[in-house]
Structure 1
Amino acid sequence: MNAIIARFLIIVCLFTFTPFKEVIKAPLLLIHYIEHLQEKSEMSLVDFFDMHYMKGIVLDEDFEKDMQLPFKVVDFAHLPIFVFSESKFFPVSKQVQPCYLKSKLPNTYDFILSDANLRGIFHPPKIS
């Protein structure tokens, strides 16, 4: 019983999925090509695809038939979309105390006013 349900769901998903639904329209492509061959016997398959897929939307006398061809109109209305939404509210039991950073800088300006030459590696020449 589970296998039957699984196969049914797979078939439903495949037939509602847009690219597979467009592949099912392949016989319409063949029928429309044969109709064009009856009008122009010298038309090749490449010319047919160029006319219907590479030139964009052309408003001519068989416009409605052209729009029924596969991959001519993209329709995402039947694309299955599953949305699972579950909202849970978690109560906050522990309150976090704010953290204050203590200043590590000295309060006096001794480090600014001291002689940088005495602290560095290079010292001025000394008179002996």
Structure 2
Amino acid sequence: MSVENTSLDQFLKLPVLFEHFKEHQERDPKVGLLEFLSMHYWGQDLNDNDNARDMQLPYKKVNTTTHQVLFARFTQVPQIIAAEQIIPQTFKAYKDQYHPAPNLTSPFRPPCA
């Protein structure tokens, strides 16, 4: 399955999120994970001149992809021409030896002496 055309490719950017969180903690050890997520996703980011790095975080940019589909209209109905193929068929005789005896595989059998 290809993830480039879905938003699942953003999960591949999760290591960048944790690295950037570590960078923020190096600058200010008091920054917690929820505060970090809040400033980058739900609130105002600090003016710390790392906007290019912030835009590498998952789900910061919307990826748009387009698919083009071409429909062709035929003036005539296409005809399918089947070629005759002769396939030799040989069948092996059925043998009971391929099935185990029912009295050996039954869960309800008499005790052995």
TM-score (structure 2 length as normaliser): 0.58
Q: What runs of 5+ residues in structure 1 fail to find an aligned partner?
A: 1-9, 91-128
TM-score (structure 1 length as normaliser): 0.52
Give yes or no for the alignment of 1:42 onto 2:44: no
CA distance in 1, matches of 2:61, 2:45: 10
Please tell me the residue identity of whatever aligns with 1:69. Answer: L
Structure with larger Rg: 1
Partners of 2:39 and 2:45 within 8 A in 1: no
Q: What runs of 5+ residues in structure 2 fail to find an aligned partner?
A: 77-113
- Residue 19 of structure 1: how far off its partner (Å): 1.2
**Equivalences for residues 47-126 of structure 1 within 5 A:** 47-55=35-43, 60-76=48-64, 79=65, 81-89=67-75
CA distance in 1, matches of 2:62, 2:44: 13
Which 4+ stretches in 1 moved above 6 angstroms? none
Query: Once superposed, what is the RMSD of the aligned Cα atoms?
Result: 2.3
CA distance in 2, matches of 1:80, 1:18: 11
Please tell me the residue identity of whatever aligns with 1:83. Answer: V
Please tell me the residue identity of whatever aligns with 1:71. Answer: Y
**Larger RCO, structures 1/2 (Cα 8 Å, 6+ apart):** 1
CA distance in 2, matches of 1:33, 1:53: 13
Count of residue pairs the alignment pairs up: 76
Match of 2:96 in 1: none
